[in-house]
Structure 1
Amino acid sequence: MSKIAFVYPGQGVQTVGMAQDFYENSVLSKEVFDKADQVLDFDIKKICFQENQEINDTEYTQAALVTTYLAITKEVENRGIKPDVTAGLSLGEYAAIAVSGGFSYEDAIKTVRQRGILMNRAVPKGEGTMAAILGMTAEQIDNIVNKMENVSVANYNCPGQIVITGKKDAVEKAMESLKEAGARRTVELNVSGPFHSQFLKEAGKKLGEQLEKVQFTPLTIPYVTNVTAQYVEDVNKTKELLIKQVYSPVRWEESVRNMIEKGVDTFIEIGPGKTIAGFLRKIDRNVKCINISQYEDLKKLNQN
């Protein structure tokens, strides 16, 4: 039987004007933004809707994106579409858990605000970085990176696209070694730190203190965790998984394959851009992906 997954991208997809049309056309979406404004210490609508530099600053980006994802989800669900499972890439996992019932939308938004601050301050700016490695297998990259210090794999996104993370000089050295070993291309990412690496363990510990303030509630549907790529049905595991997620690799390809194996054949990507759709094409072309980033995209739901 056909199953639907709601999936949420990670940082990097943010764009000025995201979800503004939802805010203007949907009472439910507007409520999410208005509640976010009440729990945040900055003007969420200004960050999302008006030209500004802060939208690309992790401290603000994370809360802005999760608010956007949840605002769009409200209107998708209002159209009668309900997921059988949810998943999110890194930051997107917070939206996935909220939609699965694990905690409130407000707690999701408040927590990622603190997560953004902690991650941004974990390593002094300029000391850490990340890079996408194109055209090599995970095994080939692991074999090289595992022998090097201060660098590791951050994201197993899809066949042919893997992200490494670590100290800046170590990542640059790894990029050279991987290029020599046959990588088609290596691209340093525009990020402010070595996310999903051992250097964020302290940030993970501090995030755990923030998560103590969150009221976790029983899941109504499962979500898939980045840490193990497995279905989570017991919310009591969530806190520890979110702590580990900050400094562990994101097993996205494995997560998607696991959902497909359990009957998911339609993925609804919620949020700006088509990053996940691109990954899905490389993982399994037989599954359908519907991207909902603009209000007019809701028409796609009626066609399927």
Structure 2
Amino acid sequence: MTAYIFPGQGAQFTGMGKDLYESSAAAKTLFDEANDILGFDIKSVMFNGTADELKQTKVTQPAVFIHSVAVALSSNSFSPDMVAGHSLGEFSSLVANGALSFKDGLTLVSKRALAMQRACEINPSTMAAILGLDDAVVEEVCASIKEEIVVAANYNCPGQLVISGSLKGIEIACEKMKAAGAKRAMVLQVGGAFHSPLMEPAREELAAAIEATNFSQPRCAVYQNVNAKPSTDVASIKKNLVSQLTAPVRWTQSVQQMTADGAKTFIECGPGKVLQGLVKKISPEAEVSSL
């Protein structure tokens, strides 16, 4: 079985999607439609913008989404048995598997990005990558910090877990992780504590937008970040999408479950190859490639 996987924020790069736009009529249509949906020329920023311009919240998430969906929907060979996306990538996967229209998916992604930005402004916060510790140890250290919010946020692959929390909490956690034997405990250059309770204001905003959006029966199961389980039930998909903002991304567990359910090949749709690298660390026997 073949699993198609979709990257999240951080996969963007200057010039992203330009070749696709110039070589595929189907992709060109989607890029042009995206400008109309968003009300600004995101295509120009993606093709010609600087790295700093691409880091703008209102640009980053829609840009990765547009590129990923265009790759999938403009391909004649796109035929998923299952899909999954890392954080933001879950929205890309839902458009690719027919659960959401491109317009509705992009509208939700844009609202999500802006809601997350507002939540970051309310609660200054950050994230850190912890390398070389077992998940259980990282969770234990986070739980030991009572006076601040610090939680496991991204289970990326064995030995690589990203934590999320208040500025002081992350500072304390990084020292404790090093003392516990972490190879690295590195604060990330991100705008806030994504996938943590500090995103609650964004979760409330996104919940209303998702509830008002029409979802269809997907053509195949989506393995969702919140529980790493396959779903084709529209009500469950919507509920899990909302929960995702304040809950951890269980990518390790999702890939393990897809492998257990028969996935032999993982094909990444979108900018970069980060997810392929993670899949190889989680399921070394899997075949990985880009669409």
TM interval, shorter chain, is over 0.9
Per-residue Cα deviation, 1:118-148 (whole angstroms, up to 9, x for no partner): 0011022882000000000101111111121
Give the 3-state SS of the residue equivalent to 2:74 in structure 1.
helix
Partner of 2:33: 35
- Asked if the contact 1:218/1:235 (under 8 Å) is kept, the reply is yes
Distance 1:118 1:247, change over 3 A: same
Partner of 1:82: 79
Q: Which amino acid aligns with 2:155?
A: Y
Partner of 2:214: 215
Give the 3-state SS of the residue equivalent to 1:12 in structure 2.
coil
Q: Which amino acid aligns with 2:238?
A: K
Per-residue Cα deviation, 1:247-276 (whole angstroms, up to 9, x for no partner): 100000000000000110100011122111
Partner of 1:44: 42
Give the 3-state SS of the residue equivalent to 2:213 in structure 1.
coil
- Asked if the contact 1:135/1:185 (under 8 Å) is kept, the reply is yes
Counterpart check, 1:259 vs 2:243: no
> Equivalent residues in 2 for 1:11-22 (5 A)?
11-22=9-20
Per-residue Cα deviation, 1:21-59 (whole angstroms, up to 9, x for no partner): 000000011111111112112212112111233311222
Report the Cα distance in structure 2 between the residues aligned to 1:184 and 1:75, rounded to whole angstroms: 42
Q: Which amino acid aligns with 2:11?
A: V
Per-residue Cα deviation, 1:174-225 (whole angstroms, up to 9, x for no partner): 0010001100011111110100000111210110111133111111111010
Partner of 1:117: 114
Partner of 1:130: 127
Give the 3-state SS of the residue equivalent to 1:131 in structure 2.
strand
Partner of 2:171: 172
Partner of 1:297: none
Q: Which moved more, 1:282-291 or 1:212-221?
A: 212-221
Give the 3-state SS of the residue equivalent to 1:165 in structure 2.
strand
Report the Cα distance in structure 1 between the residues aligned to 2:110 and 2:23, rounded to whole angstroms: 26
Taking structure 2 as the reference length, what is the TM-score of the superposition? 0.96
Report the Cα distance in structure 1 between the residues aligned to 2:257 and 2:211, rounded to whole angstroms: 30
Give the 3-state SS of the residue equivalent to 1:247 in structure 2.
coil
- Asked if the contact 2:73/2:96 (under 8 Å) is kept, the reply is no
Partner of 1:199: 198
- Asked if the contact 1:126/1:192 (under 8 Å) is kept, the reply is no
Report the Cα distance in structure 1 between the residues aligned to 2:107 and 2:268, rounded to whole angstroms: 23
Report the Cα distance in structure 1 between the residues aligned to 2:96 and 2:79, rounded to whole angstroms: 10
Counterpart check, 1:154 vs 2:157: no
Q: Which amino acid aligns with 1:173?
A: I
Give the 3-state SS of the residue equivalent to 1:264 in structure 2.
coil
Distance 1:19 1:125, change over 3 A: farther
Percent identity reads 38
Partner of 1:55: 54
Q: Which amino acid aligns with 1:83?
A: P
From 111, 130, 142, give the equivalent of 2:139.
142
Partner of 1:93: 90
Q: Which amino acid aligns with 2:92?
A: A
Give the 3-state SS of the residue equivalent to 1:21 in structure 2.
helix
- Asked if the contact 2:128/2:186 (under 8 Å) is kept, the reply is yes
- Asked if the contact 2:7/2:64 (under 8 Å) is kept, the reply is no
- Asked if the contact 1:8/1:271 (under 8 Å) is kept, the reply is yes
Q: Which amino acid aligns with 1:211?
A: I
Q: How much is the aligned-residue C-alpha RMSD, in angstroms?
A: 1.2
- Asked if the contact 2:20/2:71 (under 8 Å) is kept, the reply is yes
